[in-house]
Structure 1
Amino acid sequence: MTDQLQQKIDQIKEELQVDFIALALSTVDERTKVRVIRWQYVAGNTNQNYKRIRLQVGKGIGGIVWRTGRAFQATKLQKQPEKLVELPITRMEKLETIVAFPVVETGEVKGVFLLGYRSETDVTEAFLAVAKDKANELVVYL
């Protein structure tokens, strides 16, 4: 299933013409019993630093979307040092504009789907609708 999921991520990146795409999933640390969110499937990355990011619920893009169950959108990120600290994936991948959606199954967040551009980009309502549909398509892989 992991190969299929990576192929789907790659396909969505091409379809939506975004610079970066990622899916975060969570595990519960056996020792601490704390939920840890990690970017596990990516396309368009410039380095492997995303693998080091460990988020908790409520922290970073993945954690915020996981906690709220709502979409998250931000732009002009490289001009906001405080955001670059709070949102490490944007700093590591030099993302300027992002949108993220929860991947929800039966009312429970199963993942976080992130789309990003390395340049300032106007995100239209039509794009948001298509991107949300793509997030919903990922449920069958989880």
Structure 2
Amino acid sequence: MVLEQAKTDKDYSKLVAHIYQASDFDFVGIALQQPYYPFLIKWRFAAGNQSERFRQIVLRRGFGIAGLVFRTGKPFYNNDLSEYSISNKLYTPIASVESLWGAVAVPISTQSGAVSAVLLAGYRRQQIVSAATVSRLIGYLND
């Protein structure tokens, strides 16, 4: 879906910093999947983070926001992330650790179409996210 823009760690770091500075998001992060079994997903880059606890979050494909976006290759957005408990498949540890109320996540894909990373942006306040927010976030990838 989304073009491969960031190819190195430096590019991902610059992308996160640019979106955070140019937008009103309270948190911006990128999760990457390990290239080897068990293909764990970890949040590697962030801006606006409250602590470094986000680095300890480990997900699998299909679980949490990043896992869901990796599995489906489709954007995700939600305005009440607190509704998901730890027993729910959509439990969002990043939302819990970073106190996010609403968030939007989009895949970053390679030219072959495989999802290589997930870009997430969120709010700690009651700011509505929608399909328009998804489009705005994708726009940053195409800058």
TM-score by length of 2: 0.83
The match for 1:82 is 85
Q: Distance in 2 between matches of 1:42 and 1:84?
A: 26
CA contact (8 A) 2:79 2:103 kept: yes
- Structure 1 stretches of 4+ with a deviation exceeding 3 A read 124-127
The match for 2:71 is 67
The match for 1:104 is 109
> In the alignment, residue 68 of structure 2 is paired with which amino acid?
I
Residues 67 and 121 (structure 1 numbering): CA distance in 2 closer, same or farther, change over 3 Å? same
Summarize deviations over 1:6-48 as a string: whole Å, max 9, x none.
122111111122000000111144xxx2111111010000011
The match for 2:3 is none
| Deviation (angstroms), 1:84 | 9.2
Unmatched 5+ stretches in structure 1: 138-142
Query: Share of identical aligned residues, percent?
Result: 29
Q: Distance in 1 between matches of 2:84 and 2:62?
A: 19
CA RMSD of aligned residues (A): 2.0
The match for 1:25 is 32
TM-score by length of 1: 0.84
Q: Distance in 2 between matches of 1:84 and 1:134?
A: 33
1 or 2, which has the higher helix percentage? Answer: 1
